[in-house]
Chain A
Amino acid sequence: MTAVSEQTVAWLAKFTAQKCAEPWVQQLRDEGFRRFAELGFPTTKNEEWRFTNVAPIARADIAPLFGAGKIPQEAQAQLAKHASIDRNAFVALNTAFLNDVVFFQVPRGEVRAEPIRISFQSAAGASPLQVTNARSLVVVGPDAHCTIIETYEGTGKYFTNAVTEIVVGDGAVVDHYKVQRESTEAFHVATMQVTLGRSANFSSHSIALGGALVRNDANATLSEGTEATLNGLYVVNGRQHIDNHTQIDHAKPHGTSHELYKGILDGHATAVFNGRIVVRKDAQKTDSKQTNKNLVLSGEAVINTKPELQILADDVRCTHGATIGQLDEESMFYMRSRGIGREQARSLLTYAFAQDILDRIKAPALKEHLGKVLFEKFHEHGG
């Protein structure tokens, strides 16, 4: 038996142990598992996973957690219609274990003042690796406004396999945040799949601070006149590894997309940024900008950054840029020449690098909270 089939056999036992679901759910599960069994866990030979080795997850003795199995009927129309199981084994696996779905629906034209909060708390169990297949679906009606805040936290060693589908109606405005503060021993693999209607406005900020092994796929498909922003901040230290793959699919004309991902790497941490932008043949007048900036604080940290542009239309504007740098020596000297110690100067400049992303956060309470969290994080080494 090959390693791949051994791994899927272990999952098959867990899969069949699930309580039966309603036929439409069971069908999704079956399709998910079948695809997972075909794909197996990706290896570093797969270009999409070249720098992220998921062997620690694939080899683990696993214990999936089953929820109460409550999936609202209203979710049926959209659930698993956006996050495709075809190419991503983790999405397929998540779909195979559809049990609980966090489901929100914002009716047409409603302006929702209070943020939609999606929160997953995990903790290590006994020896097998506890797996949470976190699944969320938010359907925002045309011309509605809302804020979504996803939070992932936990203690000890566990595996969160998350899939979030967000469907945004024509003319709707959605402000999305993902705050990932998993434990530094945890595995976190997540796909966010966003489908945007005509003239919709969607912005997302992914703040990733935790996890030992993290992979985020943030994908958005735009329609005509859609405006999408995908921003991110990742802060890694020790032996943390984080991989951010984004895909912005300009399927229709007159779409605008902005992307700014900033990374702070210290210790022996490694990070990946892969930003794919697809401009389809009839997506004329697309305006797209992608930037990835990295601050590397130690000689041992490694960043792999790559833009991936597939442009099939001819009347478009697409720009991209990536930088990798250290703390500015002149700024360090300026601060020290005023009496500020080396460690404090380093912390302040690191915080300043992250500030750029914090400034773009519109939800006031979250902004303040993250400001404090980051300030403390950067000052924990001295000051």
Chain B
Amino acid sequence: MALLEIKDLHATVGEREILKGIDLTVNAGEVHAIMGPNGSGKSTLAQVLAGRELYQVTRGQVLYDGKDLLAMAPEDRAREGIFLAFQYPVEIPGVSNMYFLKAALNTIRKNKSLPELDAMDFLNLVREKMKLMDMEQALLNRPVNTGFSGGEKKRNEIFQMAVLEPRLAILDETDSGLDIDALRTVAGGVNALRGAERSMIVVTHYQRLLNYIVPDFVHVLSEGRIVKSGGKELALQLEESGYAGLGIEDEEEAVGKR
């Protein structure tokens, strides 16, 4: 059975329709890349899957592990194994990273009927995962994302993912704002989490990330619809010909590639 089945998904923000009929099936262990120009609806799709209430789903269905995903609160989706790595991780002054992550992990463990981790076990677990992401342990005692550099914020997202061990990870433009060294670290962390029981949706504008996180499937999104799907070679084709090669307008390409 598919882990995630999206059928004819339409979503609006205010009066504006952004997703105009998305169909996508993700099986266990698969990595799907969603590519597309700015404004194509990539981030909206990621946020709708995580349960952001800013968007209204007007039509369609999403089944996650056979259950109606759209009927679930964001926290219930997370407890059932969905994880969104944010494009812009949120700064939360006054809440320590450690406290935040421990609270998150323990609610997820509780949902799996696992015992809560005490402070010692938790610390041992996070130490190991921090090494994976090449992160300073001091970041744990700081408030969530507060005063973190762009690279630290993105690494913190993947670090959280490593601790929470989701079944479906959605990476929203995880490459944006990263230099090549930070990109390698982040991609290395993501790759270490790939496995037969873990699926991923990797949302990105640029092919660059996909050199490091090699997808099984690539989908091109334009104006709220998937206009082309293929294997990893589709990303390479896009790299060469640009979105224009598929007849898609991309305002960023019009002013030159970054």
User: A residues engaging B (CB < 8 A)?
Assistant: 328-331, 333-342, 344-345, 348-349, 351-356
Task: Fill in one digit per residue for B72-93: 1 if any A CB lies within 8 Å of its CB, else 0.
Answer: 0111011100011010011011
A382 → chain B closest CB, angstroms: 13
> How far apart sit A356 and B93, CA to CA, in the bound complex (Å)?
9
Return the contact of A334 from the options B89, B93, B108 (Cβ within 8 A).
B89
Report which of A329, A330, A340, A348 forms a contact with B75, defined as CB distance below 8 A: A340
* B95 on the A face (CB < 8 A): yes
Given pairs A330-B90, A335-B100, 18 additional interface contacts (CB within 8 A): A331-B92, A333-B52, A334-B89, A334-B144, A336-B51, A338-B78, A338-B100, A338-B101, A338-B160, A339-B104, A342-B73, A348-B103, A351-B95, A352-B94, A352-B143, A353-B94, A354-B94, A355-B93
**Complex Cα gap A344–B95 (Å):** 12
Knowing A334-B89, A336-B78 touch, does A355 contact B94 (C-beta < 8 A)? yes
Q: Can you sample 5 A-B contacts with CB below 8 Å?
A: A333-B51, A334-B89, A337-B75, A339-B104, A352-B95
- B186 interfacial by beta-carbon distance below 8 Å: no
Which residues in B have their C-beta under 8 angstroms from that of A353? 94
- Residues in B whose Cβ lies below 8 Å from that of A354: 94
Are B107 and A339 closer than 8 Å at their CB atoms? yes
Q: Which residues of A contact B79 (CB under 8 A)?
A: 339
Q: What's the least CB distance linking B87 to chain A, in Å?
A: 12
Instruction: Please measure, in the bound complex, the distance between the C-alpha atom of A339 and the C-alpha atom of B80, giving whole angstroms.
Output: 9
Q: Which residues in A have their C-beta under 8 angstroms from that of B164? A: 338-339
Measured CB to CB, the nearest residue on chain B to A344 is: B103
Query: Which residues of B come within 8 Å of A, CB atoms?
Result: 50-54, 73-75, 77-79, 83-84, 86, 89-90, 92-95, 99-101, 103-105, 107-108, 111, 143-144, 160, 164
Name B92's closest neighbour in chain A (CB-CB).
A331
Q: Tell me whether chain A's interface is mostly helix, strand or loop, or mixed.
A: helix
How far apart are the CA atoms of A339 and B78 in the complex, in Å?
5
**B77 — nearest CB in chain A belongs to which residue?**
A337
Distance in angstroms between the alpha carbons of A335 and B73 in the assembled complex: 12
- Separation of A51 and B67 alpha carbons in the complex (Å): 53
Query: How far apart are A233's CB and chain B's nearest CB, in angstroms?
Result: 13
Beta-carbon contact of B95 and A336 below 8 Å? no
Is the CB–CB distance between A340 and B103 below 8 Å?
A: yes
Question: CA separation between A345 and B92, bound complex, in Å?
Answer: 11
A340 lies within 8 A of B104 (CB)? yes
A-side contacts of B86, CB under 8 Å: 334, 337
| Minimum Cβ distance to chain B for residue A376 (Å) | 15
On whether A337 and B73 interact (CB within 8 A), knowing A330-B90, A352-B92, A352-B94, the answer reads no
Bound state CA distance, A354 and B93, in angstroms?
11
Name the B residues within 8 Å of A344 (CB-CB). Answer: 103, 107
Q: How far is the CB of A133 from chain B (nearest CB, A)?
A: 38
Within the complex, what minimum Cβ distance (angstroms) separates B73 from chain A? Answer: 7
Task: Please determine whether A339 and B75 come into contact, CB atoms closer than 8 angstroms.
Answer: yes
CA distance A180 to B44 in the complex (A): 47
User: B195 CB to closest chain A CB, in angstroms?
Assistant: 20
Chain B residues with CB under 8 A of A331: 90, 92
Q: Which residues of A contact B89 (CB under 8 A)?
A: 334
CB distance from A160 to the nearest CB of B (A): 31
Scoring A336, A352, A353 by chain B CB atoms within 10 A of each residue's CB, the highest score goes to: A336
Known: A333-B52, A348-B95. A341 touches B75 (CB 8 A): yes
Nearest chain B CB to A340's CB is how many angstroms away?
A: 5
Residues in B whose Cβ lies below 8 Å from that of A330: 90
Residues of B within 8 A of A339 (CB): 75, 78-79, 104-105, 107-108, 111, 164
